[in-house]
Amino acid sequence: TLLDMSAERLGFAASELGFATLDGSRQSATDLVREATNGEGFDVIFDATGSTQSVQSAFAHVAHGGTLVLVSVVKDDIVFSDPEFHKREMTLIGSRNALRAD
């Protein structure tokens, strides 16, 4: 499932990749994720936005025992609730999406 605000990216993901899509330009991400997952959150979330706000909000959309993969790098510090992170038994993985040669 791709959650995005770009009609172009959503269209590509649906038509070329067969993804289910959630249009974040029409409704809040929290409401969309809640509806799409029956309030459970996603098992795995990849955030490749480079947006501090998106990364910080992604923590709330991960299911209990789920994983958040940060593919992009943001220039600011990110803030999240440590008690909530532990309560959900979440895994956080960082990835630069680059090779050593890059």
User: How many Å is the Cα radius of gyration of the chain?
Assistant: 14
CATH number of the domain at 40-102, please?
Answer: 3.40.50.720
- The answer to whether 60 and 78 are in contact (CB under 8 A) is no
For the chain, the structural domain boundaries read 1-39, 40-102
Q: Provide the sign of the torsion angle of the four alpha carbons 61, 48, 51, 84, taken in this order.
A: positive
Q: What is the pLDDT of residue 97?
A: 64
Compute the distance between CA of residue 58 and CA of residue 53 in angstroms, rounded to an integer: 9
Per-residue pLDDT tens, the chain, 102 aa: give them: 999 999 999 999 999 999 999 999 999 999 999 999 999 999 999 999 989 999 999 999 999 999 999 998 888 999 999 999 999 999 999 987 666 776
Q: What is the pLDDT of residue 72?
A: 85
Q: What is the pTM of this model?
A: 0.86
Question: DSSP assignment of 27-87, as one string?
Answer: S-HHHHHHHHTTTS-EEEEEE-S--HHHHHHHGGGEEEEEEEEE-S--SSPP---HHHHHH
Q: What is the pLDDT of residue 79?
A: 93
